[in-house]
Each structure stands twice: as C-alpha cells, then as structure tokens.
Amino acid sequence: EMIKLAMATDKAVVSLNKATGAGTQFVAEIASMSPRMSAANVSVGELGKTYGSLITKFLAFNKLNDQQRAGIIETTSILSELGVGLDTTSDNFNILMTSFKMTSEEAGRFQREMLVIAQESLIPPDVMAEGFKDALPQLAAFGKQATSVYAKLAVNAKAASMSTQEVLKITEKFDRFDTAADSVGKLNAILGGPYLSTTKMIRQTDPTERIRMLSDAAADAGKSFDSMQYFERKSWP
C-alpha cells in the first residue's frame, strides 16, 4: 500500500508539474495531505488536480502559509466531491480573499455555508457557487456584506423560480434615478395606481427586498408578480 501511495503521489506530482510547472514545490504537501484526504474519499490524483486548479485560478495561493493552503485544499477537494467544480471554488477563493479581503478561514466557511444552503434549498451546489462568481459585479458594492446578500438572494430566487442573474437584471434598474423613475412610472401605470415609490426603490439596495417590494405592489393591485414568467417580469417594471 505504501508503494502504491508513493507511485500515485509521484504520478500526481508529475501531472501537476506538466500543468503548472509547480509540481516539485508541493511534493511534501501532497504526500502529507493524501492520508488525511483519503478519509474524505479524495484520491492522490484528485488532490493533485485540486492543487493544479488553485495554482492556476488563485493567484496568491503560492504565497499562503502551509496551514492556510491545507485548509483551502481540504475545502476545495471536499466541495469537489460534493458537486462543486474545482475551478469554481478556486475562483471564489481568489475573489473572497483578494477582492473582499477575507481570511482563508472566512472564505472557506462561506463556501461551506453556501453548500449547506444549496442542499437545504434544493439548488445544485455548483449552480450556487457559480452564481456567486457571476453576480460579483453587482455584489461588489455591498463589500463584505456581499456574501450574506448573495445567500439570501439565491434562496429567494429559487423560491420565485428564477436564477440570481434574472433577479439582478430586474432589480438593477433601480440603481439609477432615471431608469428607476421610468420603471416605476410604467409599473404604476400598469397597476393603475401609485403602488411603488421611485425614492423607496432606490433607497432599498438589497435585491431581495426590491423583489419583495415589486411582489407586494402587484399583490396590492390584485396581481401576482410571483406567477409571471421571467420575460413578463422583465418587461413589467
């Protein structure tokens, strides 16, 4: 078994070196991590692929200390076993630690929490993780609150049978006064009354709350925003 492990480790290192040129740098780490990760059903070959993804996608990975890298490798590998793509997790570690200045522990905790939320809400884990990366341009304005905003957004988008991007495309109309005023004016004309306020829609920056306000306005007018199809919703405000 020791010989098999040594041969598998050597093969993983060679593959990693071909892919990134950094295989020899992590020989000792891969060897020390493999027994620990084997308990989580992660093979040495899969461990090597995890290193390859993080080295390629997470620009500061090489600069982290051994303990930080070990935590990130463990989280990325286990999430991969549970359905989240290696590159998606690597990209998100890069985003969370570089753009949002999170520690490796905070970034790992958030990604594990996203997995739990995805499982509880019957959202495919990779869709949940990819959605965060795709929503980053809109979420960046929330700073460190972006993670909690996204978690709530993803759950509510699922409940409304929409993707997070669909919700954001609808609600981002209310980020500027001119587009907000135009949308609110059209909406109130359709509903037949002053059910929405441009000022309130602009002041409320949380996309989930904006969707709730749209839904409430429709309900007050005897209509149902939640029952509309995506393109109906998009053209409605």
* pLDDT tens-digit profile, the chain (237 residues): 666 666 666 666 666 655 566 656 677 787 788 878 888 888 888 888 898 899 889 988 989 998 999 999 999 999 999 999 999 999 999 999 998 889 999 999 999 999 999 999 889 999 999 999 888 888 888 887 888 899 888 988 887 777 888 888 888 888 888 888 988 888 888 778 888 899 999 999 888 898 888 888 888 878 766 666 555 555 555
Task: Provide the pLDDT for residue 113.
Answer: 92
CA separation for the pair 216, 205 (Å, rounded): 17
Q: Check the CA dihedral 142-143-148-154 and report its sign.
A: positive
| 3-state per-residue secondary structure call for the chain | CHHHHHHHHHHHHHHHHHHHCCHHHHHHHHHHHHHHHHCCCCCHHHHHHHHHHHHHHCCCHHHCCHHHHHHHHHHHHHHHHCCCCHHHHHHHHHHHHHHCCCCHHHHHHHHHHHHHHHHHCCCCHHHHHHHHHHHHHHHHHHHHHHHHHHHHHHHHHHHCCCCHHHHHHHHHHHHCHHHHHHHHHHHHHHHCCCCCCHHHHHHCCCHHHHHHHHHHHHHHCCCCCCCCCHHHHHHCC
- Using CB atoms within 10 A of its CB, is residue 97 exposed (0-12), middle (13-18) or buried (19+)? buried
**Structural contact between residues 151 and 158, judged by C-beta atoms closer than 8 angstroms:** no
Q: List the structure tokens of 56.
A: 């390629």
Task: Provide the pLDDT for residue 128.
Answer: 92
Task: Provide the pLDDT for residue 133.
Answer: 87
**Structural contact between residues 12 and 30, judged by C-beta atoms closer than 8 angstroms:** yes
CA separation for the pair 137, 99 (Å, rounded): 11
Q: What is the pTM of this model?
A: 0.74
- Using CB atoms within 10 A of its CB, is residue 18 exposed (0-12), middle (13-18) or buried (19+)? exposed
Which residue in 109, 106, 152, 101 sits closest to 131, CA to CA? 152
